[in-house]
Amino acid sequence: MQSREELHKLIDSMPEGAIEAAQRILSQLQVWPPTPPPGVQEMRQRMKERRLEVMQHQKPGTIAGFGGVGNYDPAPGTGYSSFSHWDGDTYVTEILRRHQGHAFKVIERIRVEDKRLIYKHEITGPGGKRDEREITFELA
């Protein structure tokens, strides 16, 4: 088990450039167990809900293709969580982003029809503002 004295020695040996990052990390541990930064619980809950939705639409006899990643930096309130799944023959990636505390969602869809690769993204931002674009690539 590490002691406070050993931790103080470690901090004293750190390069000056790392002090700010160490302070941010250690400040999150002032309450034990630590509480997640704002936005993290929302991202986790959204991923859980979407995972359950995707499982309900899974075709019998298939294996669910579902993966997710994410990160969050509490200092600027910036981070993301994303996960991907199949919707029929369309590969879908959903990304929930936070930038300086503002949330927006990006949904990307990729599919092949005949000899075309079709990429579409939908973005929903603060205040419900929404935009979508679709790009088609001809395949040889």
Q: Residue 103: its pLDDT value, please?
A: 87
Residue 76 has which token pair?
A: 């600027």
> 57-71, 95-109, 113-127: lowest mean pLDDT where?
57-71
Mean pLDDT rounded to a whole number for the chain = 82
pLDDT in tens, 20-66: 888 888 887 777 777 766 677 777 787 778 777 766 666 555 555 55
Query: Which amino acid appears at position 12 of this protein?
Result: D
Confidence of residue 120 (pLDDT cuts 50, 70, 90): very high
3-class SS string, the chain = CCCHHHHHHHHHCCCHHHHHHHHHHHHCCCCCCCCCCCCHHHHHHHHHHHHHHHHHCCCCCCCCCCEEEEEEECCCCEEEEEEEEEECCEEEEEEEEEECCEEEEEEEEEEEECCEEEEEEEEECHHHCEEEEEEEEECC
| Residue 31 CA from chain centroid, whole number | 25
As a whole number, mean pLDDT of residues 6-18 equals 89
pLDDT over 60 at 7, yes or no = yes
Task: Give residue limits of the domains in the chain.
Answer: 1-35, 38-138
